[in-house]
Amino acid sequence: MKGLNMRQFYYKFKWIILANDEYYLLQDNHPNINFDLKYIDITQEDFIYANYVLGVDTEEDFLLFKELIGSKLRIKEWIPISQPNDELLNLPNEYDRFKGMYANEQFSMIDRIIFLGRLNQSHLDWLDEKQPHLYFSCNWLLTPDTLVKFRHVYDYSVHEGLLLYLLMHKGFEGECVTKEIGLRVPSKDRLHQFMNEASRDIELIDWIPISQEEFYKGQKFAGWNNIERFMDTNKTYAEANIQLGCANNLNSRT
C-alpha cells in the first residue's frame, strides 16, 4: 500500500455492520487489488454504518474491490470524492476510535463489531416482517444429548420460515446453566406444529408469550453466534450440567 493521500481516485462508502467475518474482509490483505482504505466514523441512520474512504489508482482496481469485497459487504453506494483532506488523513486508527455510545470502551474492536452487528441483525429481521407474528420464550437446560438434537430444531425452524433467537444465558461456573430461547411464529398453530415436530424431542415445550421488543433484544443464530459456534461453545456447559446433577426439568423458568 502506498498511502491513501497518494492515490488517484477516491470513493466513500458505508457498510451495514452485520457479521464479524465481514469485517475481516476490510482488514485482510488482498494481493490482487491495489488499494488503500481509511475508516472514518460510525453513523446511525436506518442501520448502524461504518464509513470508509477507498483510494485506488485505476478503474480496474476499483471494480475489483467492488466485485470481490464490496459485493460481500452489500455496499450499495460508492461516492466519488476529491483527495481526502489532512483532517481525515490524520484520524487515529480504527482500534483507538471505534468506541463510544454502542459499547463499553474496554471491549476489543471485534467485540464492538459483534455488538453492533447484533443490533443491525435484529433491526433487519424486524424490518423483514411481512405479517403480524407471535413471540414466545422457553428456558432450556443444556445436556449433551439435547444440545446435539438442537441442530435439528434449528434446521426445522429455518425450513419452516420460523425464527429462533437466543435471548439469554443463565448461570455461571458451578451452577446449572440454561438458555432462554426465543421463537417467532405466525400463529399458535405453527407453534404447536413446531413443538410436535421438532422442539418436544429436547423438552422445549414450556413456551411463554413475550413482546416483540423482548424478542428482538436477543440475538439471531448468525454471524459470530451462528449455529455451529453455538453448539461448539456450549458443549462444556452441557457436560457440566450432567456432572452437577442438575434437575431433569429442561423448562424450569428461573
Q: Which residue has the higher pLDDT, 106 or 22?
A: 22
Asked if pLDDT for residue 230 goes beyond 80, the answer is yes
Asked if pLDDT for residue 214 goes beyond 90, the answer is yes
Residue 198: pLDDT band with limits 50, 70, 90: very high
Asked if pLDDT for residue 155 goes beyond 60, the answer is yes
Asked if pLDDT for residue 58 goes beyond 90, the answer is yes
Structural domains in the chain, sorted by start: 4-121 (3.30.70), 129-243 (3.30.70)
Residue 144 neighbours by CB under 8 Å, 6+ apart? 235, 238, 239, 242
Task: Give the three cell numbers for residue 161.
Answer: 420460515
Percent of the chain with pLDDT over 90: 47
pLDDT at residue number 77: 95
Phi first, then psi, for residue 186 (nearest 5°) are -80, -20
Indicate if the alpha-carbon torsion angle 133, 217, 151, 145 is positive or negative: negative
Residue 14: pLDDT band with limits 50, 70, 90: very high
DSSP notation for 72-96: TTT----EEE-SPPHHHHTPPPHHH
Residue 252: pLDDT band with limits 50, 70, 90: very low
Closest CA to 228 of 176, 116, 150: 150
In the block, cell 460481500 appears at 72
In the block, cell 413446531 appears at 194
Asked if pLDDT for residue 244 goes beyond 90, the answer is no
Taking a C-beta distance cutoff of 8 angstroms, is the pair 143, 223 a contact?
A: no
pLDDT at residue number 175: 85
Q: Rounded distance, CA 209 to CA 36, Å? A: 50
3-state secondary structure of 185: strand
The amino acid at 223: G
Closest CA to 115 of 104, 128, 125: 104
pLDDT at residue number 189: 97
Task: Give the three cell numbers for residue 160.
Answer: 419452516
Exposure string of 31-63, with b = 16+ CB inside 10 Å and e = fewer, is: eebbbbbbbbebeeeebbbbebbbbbeeeebbe
pLDDT at residue number 23: 77
Task: Give the three cell numbers for residue 172.
Answer: 455461571
pLDDT at residue number 253: 40
Q: Which residue has the higher pLDDT, 3 or 91?
A: 3
Percent of the chain with pLDDT over 70: 84
Q: Rounded distance, CA 232 to CA 148, Å? A: 10
pLDDT-wise least confident of 29-33, 46-50, 118-122, 143-147: 118-122
Taking a C-beta distance cutoff of 8 angstroms, is the pair 232, 135 a contact?
A: no
pLDDT at residue number 211: 96
Mean pLDDT of the region 199-213: 93
Q: What is the pLDDT of residues 69-125, one digit of tens each?
A: 999 888 999 999 988 776 655 555 544 444 444 445 555 666 677 777 777 888 888
